[in-house]
Amino acid sequence: MSAPRVAICVVTYNSAPLIVDLVSSLERGAAGVDWSLVFADNASSDGTLSEIEFHAPHATVVRNGENLGFAAGVNAAVRAAGPHDAYLILNADVRLDPGCVLALVKTVTPDISIVVPRLTDAEGVQILSLRRSPTVLRAWGDALFGAERAGRFPRLGEIVTDPKAYDTEHVTDWAEGSTQLISADCWNACGTWDESYFLYSEETEYDLRVRDFGRVVWYQPRATAQHLEGGSADNPRQWSLLVANRIKLFRATHGRASTVGFWCATIVREGSRSLLGKRTSRAAFRDLIQPARLRQNRGPQWLADVKLPAPR
């Protein structure tokens, strides 16, 4: 049998320092797979394109004329890649471990449409990358007890924090979007990523949409990768957008009463943390109590200093 054909799709925006290590991890990370590499660049101004040309001269490069956001970059990269068996969506700050892609693609079945690996951070520490569907109760659990503490209890926490859950393969509602392998059949059946999410919640929306199509997102710990992370937790603009998009996504799939409950829980969470001196929560709280700000299209100008793809 011929090797599976996988397009590795990377969105970049001022990602020059990340390119060499990303590219150098691909040969071993995609061993056993017939792979191609596609970059969708969102108008980088820092030499990212030069780094790609030097370190990945055979890669396909889509040059977007402006910073279109992560979801739009993913869609552009997949379009440019053309027909493949699967598409591996990567952040530029991901480093694949040997055999990662093959382990992911071998897990795909007619029902398992998205496969995600075990992730560690720059220090080799397990990343809590698995998520449960957002609910009002889980939003309140996060607000009152903190995300990691609430995550010990499935009904109360969205983040899966039980270490044992990361030792065995299983279905997950959704997972962080830095490293996701999507089957071509899934892409064709479920559609493209929603570009109205400029940054954050785009992977949540897509993974939950795939589930609504009767398909499965699967965690495969035999596939491993490193995600360097960093950024959103310390950047007020990014954090505020992350919070706003979580509410936007919840509102799109729930009724008014549930959305009000979710919004109230979020207000309590960000308000209490802003009282503790967190700049990021102060920015998010200010935006939450000014609905007009939440309705703004926070695109390239509002996020001019944000690098894409940003950590999840």
CA distance 71 to 199: 7
200/272 same-domain check: no
| Same structural domain, 14 and 122 | yes
Q: Which amino acid is at 293?
A: R
Q: Indicate whether 305 belongs to any domain.
A: no
Instruction: Indicate the DSSP class of residue 66.
Output: S
Q: Is 220 helix (H, G, I), strand (E, B) or coil?
A: strand
**Whether residues 112 and 188 fall in one domain:** yes
Answer yes or no: do 50 and 177 share one domain.
yes
Beta bridge partners of 170: 219
Task: Identify the pLDDT of residue 305.
Answer: 46
Distance CA 282, CA 274 (A): 5
Q: What is the pLDDT of residues 39-94, one digit of tens each?
A: 999 999 999 999 999 999 999 999 999 999 999 999 999 999 999 999 999 999 99
| The pLDDT of residue 296 | 56
Q: How far apart are CA 67 and CA 300, in angstroms?
A: 5
Residues 167, 272, single domain; the answer is no
pLDDT (0 to 100) of residue 295: 56
Which CATH number goes with the domain that contains 110? 3.90.550.10
Average pLDDT, the chain: 92
The predicted model scores a pTM of 0.91
**Terminal Cα distance for the chain, rounded:** 36
Q: Do 124 and 271 fall within a single domain?
A: no
The dihedral built from the CA positions of residue 306, 233, 218 and 144, taken in this order, carries a sign that is negative
d(CA 218, CA 101): 14
pLDDT in tens, 101-110: 999 999 999 9
Query: C-alpha dihedral over 307, 195, 221, 166, to 10 degrees?
Result: 80
pLDDT for residue 169: 98
Structure tokens at 205: 């929306």
Extract the tokens encoding 174. Answer: 């959704």
The number of domains in the chain is 2
Q: What is the residue range of 289's domain?
A: 232-294
